[in-house]
Copies of this chain bind each other. A is one copy, B any other.
Amino acid sequence: MNANSSETSQVYLYDTTLRDGAQQEGISLSVEDKLKIARLLDKLGFHFIEGGWPGANPKDAQFFESLKLDPLQSARVVAFCSTRRPGLNAAEERMFDPILLSGAQWITLFGKSWDLQVIEGLQTTLQENLAMIEDSIAFLTQQDRHVIYDAEHWFDGYKSNPVYALKTIDTAIAAGAEWVVLCDTNGGTLPHEMAAIVTDVRQHIQTLQSAHPSIRLGIHTHNDSGMAVANSVIAVQHGVEMVQGTVNGYGERCGNANLCTVIPNLQIKLGYACLESAQLTELTPASRLVSEIVNLAPNEHAPFVGASAFAHKGGIHVSAVQRNPLTYEHIDPTALGNKRRIVVSEQSGISNVLEKANHFGFWLEKTDPASRQILQQLKQLESEGYQFEAAEASFELLIREALNQRPIFFELKGFDIYCRGQQKSSSDLLSSSATATVKVAVKDQEMLTAAEGNGPISALDAALRKALVGFYPVIADFQLTDYKVRILDGRGGTSAKTRVLVESSNGRERWATVGVSANIIEASYQAVAQGIEYGLLQYRSQLHNDLALSCSLSPSYAR
């Protein structure tokens, strides 16, 4: 447990994106969102995933219920809760009932370290606060739960009254906590204080280690001084073994420690063990996927995982970096699944395209004219607002088009959509309806259909499927599983360009497609239609060969 004692000391990653991260203004996670993120981080190799505070709201309880039926593979799921309220005993504290019912074997209990918080926040006595820590932890460990003790406001508490602050963690350790996590709740601690206080605490803890040999320290920082990452790294260098943080640094106010920055610093730059190397290469895609799930634009300038983190602009930089990457790159971006990006350089663009095409099973040469065509089309489409990172099915269609391997399953001749909103009586809700008609051609046969929906896009989707299912019965198995809209230039208001991402499924696989237009309906049509097209491609061996017509550019990408 000695700081820097070994080059491969393990650091445990504790993710609180689902609770502390979700406190960020503008983030509001559904149970589905939370499960998606939890499974992603489980696969990535995070050790602890805090799911929420069961009992505080119904969503958190549902999250834990879902995991009972379909548990995570390796991560420990953690329920979060405060110590019991003043004046009760722990067995009377009904707040613990849903915690125990949640099925979580690990529980993070937070309690007060700072005398000011005890007196002004909790409005109780210093002695009662110790009792609250003591019998809350003892009660939960008696129910065979593992307890992580989050010492809230640790640094302010220690600076204000170190004797009392240390008493609170002594109490937690004596009551059976397995981890003590020092929390910089207000985010006001600076690196030199972090180093000094963690050192003090480690020395203190060592005096208790004969009685409690397995007790370990963790760190939980906030970014109010811009120091959350630095403080987490410094705490580890001074002997802490767990880092609590969030993906992309989401969190209240200025956010929590960004684990996407902490992990590469610890593992690549300082030689600690956090994740397996193969998992580490999933860090960049995971960061972007979580930003999609919470529906916030990814921070392109984020260290390590941002799209611009290894982007080179100036000509001198570019040629130097090509001779020797060390000249302008502090680490190898591929270690994290990120990549170098040469801004305005076709040469590097080509290799990206080839790499991606290979990924889809198309083996292209640099000199192949199709490679250049794909690159040019890609650049043109990206400048119009398309984005293929999260829409790989659309990218595969684009490659197939350049290679003359994109069958035309159907052509849209036109659509009409009609929406009506009516107020029945003056105190009533508006009642609205939407109807769409669609005309498609399959080979030389035209088909006109109509369908209703909750809104214009579901009506259009329904009409399109209805028109096609007679030709392609497998479409009956397809469904839209996700639909996301982003306005690309907010300044244009409702006339701004809209990017629509659609996820489709055939019950076994999922794939994502993209559409862009100033008209949200047209953007949605592009994405929905490509979703059906890509789905049909997966069945092309079963489809009549004569339906796979000779290839030409599809309308949505034609220029």
Contact = CB atoms under 8 A, between A and B. Distances in A.
A484 interface: yes
Given A57-B346, A520-B455, A226 B237 contact: no
Interface in A261-284: 261-262, 264-265, 269-270
A489 interface: yes
B26 A390 contact: yes
A33 B24 CA distance: 32
Contact of A25 (B156, B313, B488): B313
Interface string A148-182: 00000100100000000000000000000000000
Interface in A119-148: 120-121
Contacts of A186: 328-330
A482 interface: yes
A223 B253 contact: no
Nearest to A123: B323
Contact of A520 (B153, B191, B320, B520): B520
B316 A494 contact: no
Contacts of A302: 254
Interface string A497-518: 0100011000000000000011
B187 A330 contact: yes
B486 A453 contact: no
State the copy count for this chain: 2
Contact of A421 (B226, B414, B486): B414
Interface string A524-536: 1100100000000
A130 B312 CA distance: 27
Interface in A387-434: 387, 389-390, 411-423, 426-430, 432, 434
A418 B421 contact: no
A493 B481 contact: yes
A558 interface: yes
Given A120-B323, A324-B116, A303 B226 contact: yes
A56 B149 CA distance: 57
